[in-house]
Structure 1
Amino acid sequence: MVNSVVVILGAALQADGAASPALRRRVETGCRFAAEKDADLLMCGGVTHPEVPMSEAAVMAQLAREMGFPNQRIYREEHSQNTLENAFFASRLIKEKGWARVTIVTQRYHVLRALFSFKSYGISVGYKAMQGEKITPLLFFSYLREVPALLWYGVRVLNGQCRK
């Protein structure tokens, strides 16, 4: 029985439903890491654009299969719309499947908020930062955006809004 899982957090799909370059890199990083650690994969992300009927998790699962990851070891969480919901819905499946070791895969700038979100639901996680990220002005603004986002998540958790 596999006792560990690599949780790949979703990212917005392109207008045509294709994976963004960042999402593709998250899946590549997650697949490599899961293969090294003999872990299952859990793809997180719901339908985030009304004009794109596929969930982020479905697109990521397809990419993982194309990369040669075994279909029977890929799980999908397709309800979440943000990181806190990723953690909420994934925590249910993590507990149901009995995965003891959980590693999340996301961009470096997103790691702190992702760890906070999962710990808010009682899930102890490690992380693997996505590989192949280039330093750009957009990346700089992504780091800046995380400060108010993390504060907002903290307020939501303290107010009990993360419990459903």
Structure 2
Amino acid sequence: MTQFFKFLVGLWLLSGVALTLAGLLTPAQSADVAIVLGNTVYRDGSPSPRLAARLDSAIQCYRQKQCGLVFVSGGIDAAGTDEAAAMRTYLMRHGVAEDRIAVDSNGVDTWSTAHHASTFMRDRGLSKALVVTQYFHLPRVMLALSRFGVRDISGTYPRFWESRDFYSIAREVPAFVWYVVRPRH
């Protein structure tokens, strides 16, 4: 292994640790809107355990009156399953009022979700956002929202861990760097 390669691997690992710690140490604060990022929805319309854990965190926020609205964002897969609609259904089954849920079915990735959520907030005069996603994803989502003009952002994550988190953390490093330099439009 060359010294440069070792340096890059070390930098990648340190960056992954820094992003993980930043996500784990992000304090949750009361907000106008909780922004829940999508994840896998099964063909029967039920959320994967990872997504259900995110939604449960948003439900807790709503029940404790820490957020007045829940903005759910996800895409529509090849089979026609609408992540955001399934998320809305789950929230409603767990007591969140339908008129307190905003649905973004065009949130096909983190950048799109941040763009749509910031537009939603701006159009309604909302200023405080609480991001609900996995701990390692929080820094990138918060960065994306700030790039679209949201200034008061906090985050929370479900206490849900999977072995695939290691892969996801490694993936967050280049994704975060891309979001730092990515043009807004």
Shorter-normalised TM-score: what interval?
0.7 to 0.9
**Is 1:43–2:83 an aligned residue pair?**
no
- What's the offset of the Cα at 1:38? 4.7
Counterparts of residues 84-163 of structure 1 (less than 5 Å): 84-124=111-151, 125-130=153-158, 132-134=159-161, 136-156=162-182, 160=183, 162-163=184-185
Inter-CA distance 58–122: structure 2 relative to 1 (3 Å threshold): same
Pairwise CA distance, 1:15? 4.7
Shift of 1:138: 1.3
What's the offset of the Cα at 1:35? 2.2
Aligned ranges 1:22-41 → 2 under 5 Å: 22-36=50-64, 37-41=66-70
Q: Is the 8 A contact 2:43 2:81 kept in 1?
A: no
Q: CA RMSD in A?
A: 1.6
Asked if the contact 2:127/2:150 (under 8 Å) is kept, the reply is no
For residues 111-146 of structure 1, the C-alpha deviation after alignment (integer angstroms, 9 at most, x for no partner) is: 01101110110112111122x313x43111211111
**Which of these two proteins has the greater Rg computed from alpha carbons?**
2
- Residue 55 (structure 1) aligns with: 82
Cα drift, residue 153 of structure 1 = 2.2
> Percent of counterpart pairs with the same letter?
26
| One-letter amino acid matched to 1:129 | Y
Greater mean deviation of Cα atoms: 68-77 or 35-44: 35-44
Answer whether contact 1:4 1:100 (CA < 8 A) is retained.
yes
- TM-score normalised over the length of structure 1: 0.86
Task: Name the aligned partner's letter for residue 132 of structure 2.
Answer: V
Pairwise CA distance, 1:88: 0.5
Paired with 2:75 and 2:126, the residues of 1 have a C-alpha distance of: 22
Unaligned runs of 5+ in 2: 1-30
Q: Which ranges in structure 1 are unaligned for 5 or more consecutive residues?
A: none
Deviation at 1:20, TM superposition (A): 0.9
Aligned counterparts of 1:96 and 1:120: Cα–Cα separation in 2 = 17
Aligned counterparts of 2:138 and 2:36: Cα–Cα separation in 1: 12
Matched AA of 1:46: G
Q: TM-score, normalised by structure 2?
A: 0.77
